[in-house]
Structure formats: C-alpha cells, structure tokens
Structure 1
Amino acid sequence: MRISQKQQRALISLFTARSWPARISAIIVLAIAAFTWWNQGQVSPGQLTKGSQIEGRVVGVADGDTVTVLDADKKQYKLRLAYIDAPEKAMPFGQASKSNLSDLVFEQNVVAHIDDVDRYGRGVARISKAEQDINLAQVDAGFAWHYATYAKKTQSRGEFQQYEQAQANAKSQRTGLWKDNNPTAPWDWRKSNR
C-alpha cells in the first residue's frame, strides 16, 4: 500500500499534534485510508471483473450480441458476447440476429466467463449453454461476424481458427446475413452513423 502525502501528514499529526481536534482529524484521514485499502480489490455483488464466472438465467436479449443474466442471488449482469459483432437492431438482419440469440439462450441457464469489462460496464463474455459455445453459434448461424480485430488479441489460436472457419462456412452457404451480397459490418455501420 502506498501512502499519500496527506496520509503521511495525518500520521505525523496523530503523534505530534498538541490539540485534540488536530489528532481527531488525523484519525479520520487515516481511518478513511485504511477503509479504502481494506476494500481495494473486493468486488461487490453484481459487479463484474475480468476473469470471473457467472452462472444464471438469461432474462433479456438486447440484440444479437448482448444479453442480461440473472444469477442465483437475483443480481443482473449485462453481458456483451466476446469475439463477435452482430448487426445493430436498425441494420438489415439486426432483428433476425437478436431472434436467433433469443432462440439459443432466452430463459435458459448459461455460464459466462468474463474476459473483460467494457467502458459501459458490461462484461465481455464467452457464454456457454450445456457445453455449447453460444458466441460461436451466432457466427455459425450467420448472424454475427467474428470480430477478428479484437479477438486476435485475446482469443486462443484454436478458437480463433474455429470462429474464422464458422464465418467462412456461413458465408459460403449464404446463411443468415450472408444472404446479402455485400453485408455492412456493424463497426462500419456505427462509424457512418455517428
């Protein structure tokens, strides 16, 4: 634990101050520092952290790559599916992508492995249901892109190749969004609609 200058002054005041108000003030500063240090790294229920795992029931599907999971303690977690990017709801195939994900997981029990927490506080997760990789299933069904730009930073080589192959198969079979001759990737669509 690193001590700030304010805490150093408080510690010195605690032993050298001549008045009780100065000593009480020092005690308060040190108590706050101790409380902060003690709680550092501890996670509150409902708070997501990288490397954690959540088990629960999917109670909401926002779009083709975002779900809400309710755990046994009745805590809700908003999760973004890792390694994939699905069409936005307003895009062609956006509603179909959401519908496919709903068919896979809505009101189902899942296990979510949190790979990261994004800037919106959502867990970026690998979700499975009875050993089925749901993220991969979205790509395999042609309702999401393999988000290779981000996946290559953290996804294992084997999984990366599996997702790439699933996308290539969906594309060659013209499944889902690949029915369109030239589908717009969600990251390009978001950029043009800012």
Structure 2
Amino acid sequence: MMKALFSLLLFLAFASPAMAERFVSCHDGDTCTLESGLRVRFAGIDAPEIGQPFALEARDYLTQMVEGRESRLDCSGWSYKRRVCDVFVNGMDVQKELVGWGLAYDYEKYSGGRYQNAQAFAQKMGRGVWSFPDGGFRPWDYRRRK
C-alpha cells in the first residue's frame, strides 16, 4: 500500500509541467541529482564530459548555482533514466547562464537554437570552451569516440 501511494505521489509530482525541488549534487555540467534521488538532465545544452577541458569548471559552477537552492523545473521527457528539464533558480535560466559563460554548448538539436545568443556572446568574449579555436571538441563527438 505504501509503495503504491509513493508511486502515485511520484507520478503526480512529475506529471505536472513545473515543480520546485532542491538539488543535492551535480555529476557533471548538465546532470544533477534531486533530494528525491531523481537525476535531472538539463535540457537544450551539452557540457564538456569529465576528462574534457572545462568539464570540472562546468560541474563546479553548476553546483554553485543549484545545490541546496530551490529550483523550478519544467520537465519535458526522459533520457537514459534521467528527467529532462529546463531549470530556473530565482528566475535565472541555468542553462543560458552555463552557455553564456562558455561552460556548455547550445545543443541546437534539442534546444531549437534557444541559447544561440548566449553562445555567440561567450564565443565573442572567448569564455570557457570558446577560448579554444572553434570552441574545442564537442561533447557529443567526444562521447561518440568513446
């Protein structure tokens, strides 16, 4: 009975388009874990993989922005057992912030180019990954190589 009630409450929490919860840790620059234990993949961006330049900076900056803070999540789907969500802290679009600092790429395939302006700014300023010619080796290409 308790398991069924918990499952129902979990379903209702994630069925709603927006929810507020706190993150307890970040695995990398685009995936963090909520207090509930659910892993969240930040929508529309792709941060460097651990082992790539700026991966640890991306993870640490993301951790600083979201860990322990109430975050608003607008979730739209699932990817590899992770909830895919747009994440906002105090009204700030966390993904846009990461892209604007050159710590993640606009993953146009999934963002529809929503972060192109932030990425162009980071590129113009030579921030993060954009300190490398052409923005360095993309994480999606890095994963494909592994």
With the shorter chain as reference, the TM-score category is 0.7 to 0.9
Please name the residue that 1:106 is paired with.
67
State, as a whole percentage, how many aligned pairs show the same letter: 27
Please name the residue that 1:85 is paired with.
46
1:138 is the counterpart of 2:98: yes
Cα RMSD after superposing both structures: 1.9
What is the CA-CA distance between 1:51 and the residue it aligns to? Answer: 5.4
Rounded to whole Å, the distance in 1 between the matches of 2:27 and 2:101 is 18
Provide, for residues 53-99 of structure 1, a one-character-per-residue CA deviation record: whole Å limited to 9, x for no partner.
Answer: 331111011100011122xxxx2321000000000011111111111
TM-score (norm 1): 0.66
SS at match of 1:76: coil
What is the CA-CA distance between 1:137 and the residue it aligns to? Answer: 0.7
The correspondence for 2:85, drawn from 113, 125, 143, is 125
Q: Which runs of 5+ in 1 are unaligned?
A: 1-38, 153-159
Q: Which runs of 4+ in 1 moved over 2 A?
A: 43-54
2:106 maps to a residue whose letter is: H
The higher relative CO (CA closer than 8 Å, separation ≥ 6) is in: 2
Q: Which runs of 5+ in 2 are unaligned?
A: none
1:166 is the counterpart of 2:132: no
1:52 is the counterpart of 2:20: no
Please name the residue that 1:65 is paired with.
30
Structure number with the higher strand fraction is: 2
The count of aligned residue pairs is 139
Contact 1:50 1:116 in 2 (8 A): no
TM-score (norm 2): 0.86
1:64 maps to a residue whose letter is: G
2:145 maps to a residue whose letter is: S
